[in-house]
Chains A and B, each alone.
Chain A
Amino acid sequence: MESEARSPLQHKTRDRVLTLLSVGALFAFLWYADHHFSPYSIRILNNIAIFIILAVSYNLINGVTGQFSLEPNAFVAVGAYTSALLTLSPEEKIRSFIIEPIVWPLSEISVSFPVSLLCAGLLTALMALLMSIPVFRVRGDYLAIVTLGFGEVIQVVANNLVSITNGPLGLKGLHPHTTLWWSWGFCVLTVFSVVRLVRSSYGRAMQAVREDETAAQAMGINAFRTKTLAFTFSAFFEGVAGGLLAHLITTISPSLFTFFLTFHLLIIIVVGGLGSTTGVVVAAALFTWGGEFLRIVEEPTTIFGYYYEGIPGMRMVILSLLLIVVMLFARRGLMGGKEFSWQALIDWTGRLIALAKRCV
């Protein structure tokens, strides 16, 4: 009995080695891809990494802590703009800002890509922290409305604060800093950080708040601090992802960061399974890769000899229906609430082998 209870620690070394090997394999694959894949495929791989970062962070506040939030598009926008404004050189800024000259000190500053990412993350984290004060002190129900409203405000600000954001024109000609190494490097970092956080006492506290906030408080947990930690943590990585995104697509404008982005992430975490990091990673990869296919629904194609006009907006109708259906019938999502673990994989493989042996 005692050895059973202690088994996760027993196999700690084995698990660590396996994880390290997998990460090594991942980077080997990326090296191969970098040298042999088409730009289109590389773009998709980068997108997958960024969406994994976003989904895993978004899942922390929504799925793990159980606080319904609609923040991603706002924080991604802030992160994207911050990072872009910091990496553009003063000359480039003069060229871009044709309606109104950019304000000082942004006109002078130009930093390296990694520094800009860090600033992006820190700024969004700060915003999240400030937002936590009015929202988490009172009934947490309002988080969704506040974040939804904040998304609108960011749109409005991005369009109007022309001396900082260049208004509707947006920022063009960003250096394509985001390579497979940056995006996947941060992806691994994000997943690693979130998993470790969730497995710690802080993660347990977050889940307790989700399960029963009153009982959690009666057991000494400060719900305000717990929620704030989750929210700020999510915001940080969403901001960084924004910076990565900006330097991948090299052109950003306010219309890029609408509620559509948040909705996509919401579907991903719901289908992947709220609270399950594994499920969310898989769902993010699937949706980003498969999203290309859904585009078919909106373009004219010929299916089985019938010409199909293609209806704009159909993709979103399908996704909305998917969301509702999953919420009504399969709330636990892909993984059914279970997480990946090396032990589970080993057990499963063992069973598969035993089954195969019996059949032969």
Chain B
Amino acid sequence: MAGADRLDREAHRTREEVCMSDPLFLVRGLTVEFGGLTALSGLDMEVNPGEIVGLIGPNGAGKTTAFNAITGIVRPSAGRVYFRGTDITHWSPPRIASAGIARTFQSIRLYDDLTVAENVMVASHSAISYTFLEAIVGLGRFSREERRIQEKAERLLDLMGLTEFARERASSLPYGSQRKLEVARALALEPSLLLLDEPVAGMNPAETMEFSNLLRKIREDLDLSIALIEHDMGFVMKICHTITVIDHGIPIARGAPGEIKTNEQVIAAYLGE
């Protein structure tokens, strides 16, 4: 069928590209269709090691859909996603997470009933080294591993400035702290690529500035690459190396912040919003 042929051709073409340019993360022609509606059409994206890439566009443009398709929560109708040269297009979310891609959610999706510390500790489960039987009996490996997980969570909470809340229920946190907790949780996966969905939404300028500095610090300390979705233009322009713009599911521009700021199509898309 035509669709399959197109997929094959794209896969073939982009495999060559991957070998040549070697970005950490590559998206080609990502398309998502829901029963007649095209939420996303032909998105290309690239993240090189250490880069911060922005994905912006008017409301409902399909940005979160893109993240959902990349992380396996939604099935792409067409296109390919590559991570470290491997095709991860149809991988399941846990597998993608274990491979080194972590994300936060636009609408905060914390484990409300668990404590702040537990929220972060859960992310360490996929790499757990003890079996459930050992957990029950409580042999040496269990205690050591639990201590390791706990200390890692403490470090991350400290990094994000959330230590005072460690024993509180996640749902009781103020909004800004909840957003930071989502990031801390994602970092517990020890990812190479961090996907942030509207990380500073609802933050005032002071908090946003603090978050930008934090983000830069995390990127350096933990050797991360970042892709983020945001509406706050100031934040995006300041912190991103490259920006991709989509409108109604279709990519309309890609480039450095300076170029995007003055791009006519981009301005028109936002004005029309």
Residues of chain A touching chain B, judged by Cβ–Cβ distance below 8 Å, are: 1-2, 4-5, 9, 192-193, 196-197, 200-205, 207-208, 210-212, 214-223, 229, 233, 275, 337
Contact = CB atoms under 8 A, between A and B. Distances in A.
Nearest to B117: A5
Interface of B: 71, 73, 92-94, 97-98, 102-103, 105, 109-114, 117-118, 121-128, 130, 132, 135-136, 138, 142, 145-147, 149-150, 154, 163-164, 166-167, 185-186, 188-189
Contacts of A229: 132
B163 A211 contact: no
Contact of A193 (B102, B136, B145): B136
Contacts of A205: 122, 125
Contacts, number: 115
Nearest to A207: B114
A200 B98 contact: no
B135 A208 contact: no
B122 A221 contact: yes
Contact of B163 (A1, A196, A216, A220): A1
B94 A221 contact: yes
B132 A211 contact: no
Given A201-B146, A220-B189, A215 B124 contact: no
B135 A215 contact: no
A201 B124 contact: yes
Given A193-B136, A218-B103, A219-B102, A200 B163 contact: no
A269 to B, nearest CB: 16
Main DSSP-derived SS at the B contact region: helix
Q: Which 10 A-B pairs have the closest CB atoms?
A: A220-B126, A200-B135, A220-B97, A211-B111, A215-B109, A217-B93, A219-B123, A205-B125, A208-B122, A201-B125
Contacts of B124: 201
A63 to B, nearest CB: 11
B163 A204 contact: no
A192 B138 CA distance: 11
B98 A204 contact: no
Contacts of B123: 219-220
A210 B147 CA distance: 24
A205 B94 CA distance: 12
Given A214-B109, A215-B109, A337-B113, A201 B128 contact: yes
Contact of A211 (B113, B127, B149, B150): B113
7 contacts: A196-B136, A201-B128, A204-B121, A211-B113, A214-B73, A220-B189, A221-B126
Contacts of B167: 4-5
A202 B138 CA distance: 13
Contacts of B122: 201, 204-205, 207-208, 216, 219, 221
Contacts of B103: 218
B114 A197 contact: no
Contacts of A193: 136
Given A5-B163, A219-B122, A220-B97, A208 B111 contact: yes
B155 to A, nearest CB: 11
A146 to B, nearest CB: 23
Contacts of A203: 135
B18 to A, nearest CB: 25
Given A218-B71, A218-B73, A201 B149 contact: yes
A197 to B, nearest CB: 6
A5 B158 CA distance: 12
Contact of A222 (B94, B102, B142, B189): B94
Contacts of A222: 94, 126
A205 to B, nearest CB: 5
Q: Which of B93, B126, B138, B164 has most A Cβ within 10 Å?
A: B93
Contact of A204 (B97, B125, B142, B164): B125
Given A215-B111, A219-B126, 14 more contacts: A2-B154, A5-B166, A196-B138, A197-B136, A201-B124, A201-B130, A201-B146, A202-B135, A203-B135, A204-B114, A214-B93, A214-B109, A215-B105, A220-B94
A18 to B, nearest CB: 16
B132 A202 contact: yes
A66 B231 CA distance: 35
A193 to B, nearest CB: 5
Contacts of B73: 214, 217-218
